[in-house]
Protein backbone atom coordinates (compact mmCIF):
# COMPACT_ATOMS: atom_id res chain seq x y z
CA UNK A 1 0.00 0.00 0.00
CA UNK A 2 1.58 3.27 -1.15
CA UNK A 3 1.56 6.50 0.84
CA UNK A 4 -0.45 8.22 -1.92
CA UNK A 5 -2.95 5.52 -2.91
CA UNK A 6 -6.12 7.03 -4.37
CA UNK A 7 -4.57 10.49 -4.76
CA UNK A 8 -4.42 12.47 -8.00
CA UNK A 9 -1.36 14.58 -8.81
CA UNK A 10 -0.42 17.16 -11.41
CA UNK A 11 3.33 17.64 -11.87
CA UNK A 12 4.14 20.59 -14.11
CA UNK A 13 7.18 20.30 -16.37
CA UNK A 14 7.37 16.55 -15.77
CA UNK A 15 8.44 15.51 -19.25
CA UNK A 16 12.07 15.42 -18.16
CA UNK A 17 14.48 16.30 -15.37
CA UNK A 18 13.39 16.82 -11.77
CA UNK A 19 9.69 16.82 -12.70
CA UNK A 20 10.02 13.38 -14.29
CA UNK A 21 11.68 12.10 -11.10
CA UNK A 22 8.86 13.54 -9.02
CA UNK A 23 6.14 12.08 -11.28
CA UNK A 24 7.74 8.61 -11.00
CA UNK A 25 8.05 8.84 -7.22
CA UNK A 26 4.42 9.98 -6.71
CA UNK A 27 3.19 7.20 -9.02
CA UNK A 28 5.31 4.62 -7.16
CA UNK A 29 3.45 5.63 -3.98
CA UNK A 30 0.11 5.02 -5.69
CA UNK A 31 -0.92 8.44 -7.03
CA UNK A 32 -2.42 8.82 -10.51
CA UNK A 33 -0.20 11.41 -12.17
CA UNK A 34 -0.59 13.96 -14.95
CA UNK A 35 2.77 14.52 -16.61
CA UNK A 36 2.64 18.08 -17.91
CA UNK A 37 5.04 19.37 -20.56
CA UNK A 38 5.33 22.42 -22.83
CA UNK A 39 6.91 21.26 -26.12
CA UNK A 40 8.50 17.84 -25.98
CA UNK A 41 5.74 15.22 -26.26
CA UNK A 42 8.23 12.38 -26.86
CA UNK A 43 9.97 12.63 -23.48
CA UNK A 44 6.65 13.12 -21.66
CA UNK A 45 5.27 9.99 -23.34
CA UNK A 46 8.34 8.04 -22.19
CA UNK A 47 7.76 9.17 -18.59
CA UNK A 48 4.13 8.02 -18.84
CA UNK A 49 5.09 4.66 -20.39
CA UNK A 50 7.64 3.98 -17.65
CA UNK A 51 5.07 4.73 -14.95
CA UNK A 52 2.53 2.45 -16.63
CA UNK A 53 5.09 -0.37 -17.00
CA UNK A 54 5.54 -0.17 -13.24
CA UNK A 55 1.77 -0.63 -12.76
CA UNK A 56 1.16 3.09 -12.16
CA UNK A 57 -1.44 5.39 -13.67
CA UNK A 58 -0.38 8.42 -15.74
CA UNK A 59 -1.31 10.63 -18.68
CA UNK A 60 0.69 13.30 -20.50
CA UNK A 61 -0.87 16.75 -21.03
CA UNK A 62 0.66 19.57 -23.04
CA UNK A 63 0.06 22.96 -21.40
CA UNK A 64 2.08 26.14 -21.03
CA UNK A 65 1.81 27.00 -17.32
CA UNK A 66 2.06 30.72 -18.08
CA UNK A 67 -1.23 30.63 -20.03
CA UNK A 68 -4.46 30.64 -18.00
CA UNK A 69 -6.46 28.71 -20.62
CA UNK A 70 -3.78 26.01 -20.84
CA UNK A 71 -3.70 25.66 -17.06
CA UNK A 72 -7.51 25.36 -16.91
CA UNK A 73 -7.35 22.64 -19.60
CA UNK A 74 -4.55 20.84 -17.71
CA UNK A 75 -6.76 20.52 -14.64
CA UNK A 76 -9.92 19.72 -16.65
CA UNK A 77 -8.19 16.87 -18.51
CA UNK A 78 -6.75 15.50 -15.27
CA UNK A 79 -10.14 15.63 -13.63
CA UNK A 80 -11.70 13.83 -16.59
CA UNK A 81 -9.06 11.07 -16.43
CA UNK A 82 -8.63 10.62 -12.68
CA UNK A 83 -10.90 12.96 -10.67
CA UNK A 84 -10.17 16.14 -8.68
CA UNK A 85 -6.52 16.99 -8.09
CA UNK A 86 -5.12 16.37 -4.57
CA UNK A 87 -1.45 17.20 -5.19
CA UNK A 88 0.04 19.96 -7.33
CA UNK A 89 3.80 20.11 -7.88
CA UNK A 90 4.86 23.43 -9.42
CA UNK A 91 8.08 22.23 -11.03
CA UNK A 92 7.99 23.72 -14.56
CA UNK A 93 10.81 26.20 -14.74
CA UNK A 94 13.37 27.83 -16.98
CA UNK A 95 16.86 29.06 -16.14
CA UNK A 96 19.48 31.03 -18.00
CA UNK A 97 22.41 32.63 -16.25
CA UNK A 98 24.20 35.82 -17.21
CA UNK A 99 25.40 39.18 -15.92
CA UNK A 100 23.06 42.08 -15.22
CA UNK A 101 23.79 43.78 -18.54
CA UNK A 102 22.69 40.68 -20.49
CA UNK A 103 19.16 40.66 -19.07
CA UNK A 104 16.48 41.61 -21.58
CA UNK A 105 12.81 42.36 -21.03
CA UNK A 106 11.96 39.23 -23.04
CA UNK A 107 14.14 37.05 -20.77
CA UNK A 108 12.63 38.70 -17.70
CA UNK A 109 9.15 37.75 -18.89
CA UNK A 110 10.19 34.23 -19.93
CA UNK A 111 11.57 33.59 -16.44
CA UNK A 112 8.83 35.29 -14.42
CA UNK A 113 5.97 34.06 -16.63
CA UNK A 114 7.04 30.41 -16.34
CA UNK A 115 8.52 30.24 -12.85
CA UNK A 116 6.29 32.69 -10.95
CA UNK A 117 3.10 33.34 -12.93
CA UNK A 118 2.96 29.60 -13.76
CA UNK A 119 3.18 28.73 -10.06
CA UNK A 120 0.44 31.26 -9.28
CA UNK A 121 -1.95 30.22 -12.05
CA UNK A 122 -1.66 26.50 -11.31
CA UNK A 123 -2.08 27.12 -7.56
CA UNK A 124 -5.16 29.24 -8.26
CA UNK A 125 -6.70 26.55 -10.47
CA UNK A 126 -5.83 23.88 -7.88
CA UNK A 127 -7.51 25.83 -5.07
CA UNK A 128 -10.56 26.64 -7.21
CA UNK A 129 -11.22 23.02 -8.18
CA UNK A 130 -10.91 21.56 -4.66
CA UNK A 131 -14.35 20.48 -3.52
CA UNK A 132 -13.29 19.12 -0.14
CA UNK A 133 -10.74 20.29 2.41
CA UNK A 134 -7.18 19.04 2.18
CA UNK A 135 -4.57 18.73 -0.53
CA UNK A 136 -1.03 19.78 -1.19
CA UNK A 137 0.94 22.26 -3.22
CA UNK A 138 4.70 21.73 -3.55
CA UNK A 139 6.83 24.38 -5.24
CA UNK A 140 10.25 23.46 -6.64
CA UNK A 141 12.66 26.23 -5.79
CA UNK A 142 16.46 26.24 -5.62
CA UNK A 143 19.32 26.21 -3.12
CA UNK A 144 20.25 29.44 -4.92
CA UNK A 145 17.76 31.30 -2.69
CA UNK A 146 20.11 30.74 0.27
CA UNK A 147 23.32 32.36 -0.99
CA UNK A 148 24.48 35.13 -3.27
CA UNK A 149 25.54 33.79 -6.63
CA UNK A 150 26.78 36.07 -9.43
CA UNK A 151 25.04 35.99 -12.83
CA UNK A 152 21.85 34.53 -11.39
CA UNK A 153 19.86 37.65 -10.56
CA UNK A 154 16.91 36.85 -12.81
CA UNK A 155 16.61 33.14 -11.98
CA UNK A 156 17.22 33.63 -8.24
CA UNK A 157 14.57 36.38 -8.15
CA UNK A 158 11.99 33.96 -9.52
CA UNK A 159 12.99 31.18 -7.12
CA UNK A 160 12.89 33.59 -4.16
CA UNK A 161 9.41 34.69 -5.27
CA UNK A 162 8.35 31.03 -5.12
CA UNK A 163 9.48 30.86 -1.48
CA UNK A 164 7.40 33.98 -0.76
CA UNK A 165 4.39 32.42 -2.47
CA UNK A 166 4.89 29.22 -0.49
CA UNK A 167 4.82 31.07 2.84
CA UNK A 168 1.93 33.36 1.92
CA UNK A 169 -0.29 30.69 0.38
CA UNK A 170 0.38 28.29 3.24
CA UNK A 171 -1.29 30.76 5.60
CA UNK A 172 -4.02 31.71 3.16
CA UNK A 173 -4.99 28.12 2.35
CA UNK A 174 -4.45 26.57 5.80
CA UNK A 175 -8.10 27.08 6.85
CA UNK A 176 -9.03 24.79 3.94
CA UNK A 177 -6.54 22.14 5.05
CA UNK A 178 -4.33 22.74 2.01
CA UNK A 179 -0.62 22.50 2.88
CA UNK A 180 1.88 24.47 0.80
CA UNK A 181 5.60 23.67 0.94
CA UNK A 182 8.67 24.09 -1.22
CA UNK A 183 11.67 21.93 -2.00
CA UNK A 184 14.90 23.85 -2.55
CA UNK A 185 16.85 21.52 -4.81
CA UNK A 186 20.60 21.65 -5.13
CA UNK A 187 22.30 21.34 -8.50
CA UNK A 188 20.93 18.26 -10.29
CA UNK A 189 21.94 16.52 -13.50
CA UNK A 190 18.98 17.19 -15.81
CA UNK A 191 18.43 17.90 -19.49
CA UNK A 192 18.06 21.58 -18.65
CA UNK A 193 21.37 21.74 -16.76
CA UNK A 194 23.14 19.73 -19.49
CA UNK A 195 21.93 22.32 -22.03
CA UNK A 196 23.85 25.02 -20.10
CA UNK A 197 27.11 23.12 -20.78
CA UNK A 198 28.01 22.94 -17.07
CA UNK A 199 28.36 19.17 -16.71
CA UNK A 200 31.95 17.96 -16.97
CA UNK A 201 33.51 21.42 -16.60
CA UNK A 202 35.78 22.88 -13.91
CA UNK A 203 32.78 24.94 -12.77
CA UNK A 204 30.88 21.71 -12.05
CA UNK A 205 33.88 20.27 -10.16
CA UNK A 206 34.08 23.47 -8.08
CA UNK A 207 30.38 23.12 -7.25
CA UNK A 208 30.75 19.45 -6.29
CA UNK A 209 33.54 20.49 -3.90
CA UNK A 210 30.91 22.52 -2.00
CA UNK A 211 28.55 19.54 -1.60
CA UNK A 212 29.39 17.45 1.48
CA UNK A 213 27.85 14.26 0.01
CA UNK A 214 30.35 14.62 -2.83
CA UNK A 215 28.23 14.66 -6.00
CA UNK A 216 25.53 16.65 -7.72
CA UNK A 217 21.95 15.46 -7.42
CA UNK A 218 19.77 13.46 -9.79
CA UNK A 219 15.99 13.69 -10.25
CA UNK A 220 15.59 10.45 -8.25
CA UNK A 221 16.97 12.30 -5.19
CA UNK A 222 14.13 14.84 -5.27
CA UNK A 223 11.13 12.60 -6.11
CA UNK A 224 10.89 10.87 -2.70
CA UNK A 225 11.12 14.24 -0.92
CA UNK A 226 8.04 15.39 -2.85
CA UNK A 227 6.27 12.10 -2.09
CA UNK A 228 6.99 12.63 1.61
CA UNK A 229 5.70 16.23 1.61
CA UNK A 230 2.56 15.16 -0.27
CA UNK A 231 1.86 12.33 2.16
CA UNK A 232 0.18 12.29 5.52
CA UNK A 233 3.61 11.74 7.11
CA UNK A 234 4.13 15.49 6.53
CA UNK A 235 0.71 16.49 7.89
CA UNK A 236 2.22 18.96 10.39
CA UNK A 237 4.47 20.67 7.85
CA UNK A 238 3.27 23.71 5.93
CA UNK A 239 4.85 26.95 4.76
CA UNK A 240 8.28 25.33 4.89
CA UNK A 241 11.10 25.07 2.41
CA UNK A 242 12.91 21.76 2.65
CA UNK A 243 16.49 21.84 1.32
CA UNK A 244 17.49 18.74 -0.65
CA UNK A 245 21.07 19.62 -1.51
CA UNK A 246 23.44 16.83 -0.40
CA UNK A 247 24.38 19.03 2.55
CA UNK A 248 25.33 22.12 0.50
CA UNK A 249 22.78 24.22 2.38
N1 LIG B 1 18.38 21.02 -12.26
C2 LIG B 1 18.80 21.74 -11.24
O3 LIG B 1 20.00 21.79 -10.91
C4 LIG B 1 17.81 22.49 -10.41
C5 LIG B 1 18.21 22.94 -9.14
C6 LIG B 1 17.29 23.63 -8.36
C7 LIG B 1 16.01 23.84 -8.81
N8 LIG B 1 15.64 23.40 -10.05
C9 LIG B 1 14.26 23.64 -10.50
O10 LIG B 1 13.68 22.40 -10.85
C11 LIG B 1 12.74 22.60 -11.90
C12 LIG B 1 13.05 21.64 -13.05
O13 LIG B 1 14.38 21.86 -13.49
P14 LIG B 1 15.09 20.82 -14.48
O15 LIG B 1 16.55 21.04 -14.37
O16 LIG B 1 14.53 19.47 -14.26
O17 LIG B 1 14.58 21.40 -15.90
P18 LIG B 1 14.56 20.74 -17.37
O19 LIG B 1 15.40 19.53 -17.43
O20 LIG B 1 14.89 21.88 -18.28
O21 LIG B 1 13.02 20.36 -17.57
C22 LIG B 1 12.07 21.40 -17.53
C23 LIG B 1 10.69 20.86 -17.74
O24 LIG B 1 9.78 21.98 -17.61
C25 LIG B 1 8.96 22.05 -18.75
N26 LIG B 1 8.56 23.43 -19.02
C27 LIG B 1 9.35 24.49 -19.32
N28 LIG B 1 8.59 25.59 -19.52
C29 LIG B 1 7.29 25.20 -19.33
C30 LIG B 1 6.06 25.86 -19.40
N31 LIG B 1 5.96 27.16 -19.70
N32 LIG B 1 4.93 25.15 -19.15
C33 LIG B 1 4.99 23.83 -18.85
N34 LIG B 1 6.14 23.15 -18.76
C35 LIG B 1 7.28 23.83 -19.01
C36 LIG B 1 9.76 21.43 -19.88
O37 LIG B 1 8.88 20.99 -20.90
P38 LIG B 1 9.39 20.82 -22.44
O39 LIG B 1 10.63 19.97 -22.38
O40 LIG B 1 8.24 20.17 -23.10
O41 LIG B 1 9.68 22.21 -22.94
C42 LIG B 1 10.44 20.28 -19.11
O43 LIG B 1 9.56 19.18 -19.00
C44 LIG B 1 12.82 24.09 -12.29
O45 LIG B 1 11.81 24.79 -11.64
C46 LIG B 1 14.19 24.49 -11.75
O47 LIG B 1 14.22 25.87 -11.43
C48 LIG B 1 16.52 22.73 -10.87
CATH 3.40.50.300 fits 8-244, yes or no: no
| Catalytic-labelled residue, pool 126, 155, 228, 243 | 155
- How much is the CA Rg of the chain, to the nearest whole Å? 17
Give the pLDDT confidence of 203-219 residue by residue, as tens digits.
Answer: 999 999 999 999 999 99
| For the chain, domain boundaries | 8-244
Please indicate whether residue 249 is annotated as part of the active site: no
d(CA 192, ligand 1 centre) in Å: 7
The residues near 55 (Cβ < 8 Å, ≥ 6 apart) are none
Reference 74, options 112, 19, 129; nearest CA is: 129
d(CA 16, CA 37): 8
* Ligand 1 pocket, residues with Cβ under 6 angstroms: 12-13, 15-19, 36-40, 64-66, 91-95, 114, 118, 140, 142, 185, 187-188, 190-193
| Confidence at residue 92, expressed as pLDDT on a 0 to 100 scale | 98
Residue minimizing CA distance to atom 17 of ligand 1: 192
Low-confidence ranges of the chain (pLDDT < 50): none
Amino acid sequence: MGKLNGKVAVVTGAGKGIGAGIAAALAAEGAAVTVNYAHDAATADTVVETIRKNAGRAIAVKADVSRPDDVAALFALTREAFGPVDILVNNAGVFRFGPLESITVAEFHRHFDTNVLGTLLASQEFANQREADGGNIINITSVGVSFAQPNASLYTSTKTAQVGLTRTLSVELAPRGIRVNAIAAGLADTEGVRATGLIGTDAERALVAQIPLGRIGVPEDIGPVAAFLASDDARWITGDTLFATGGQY
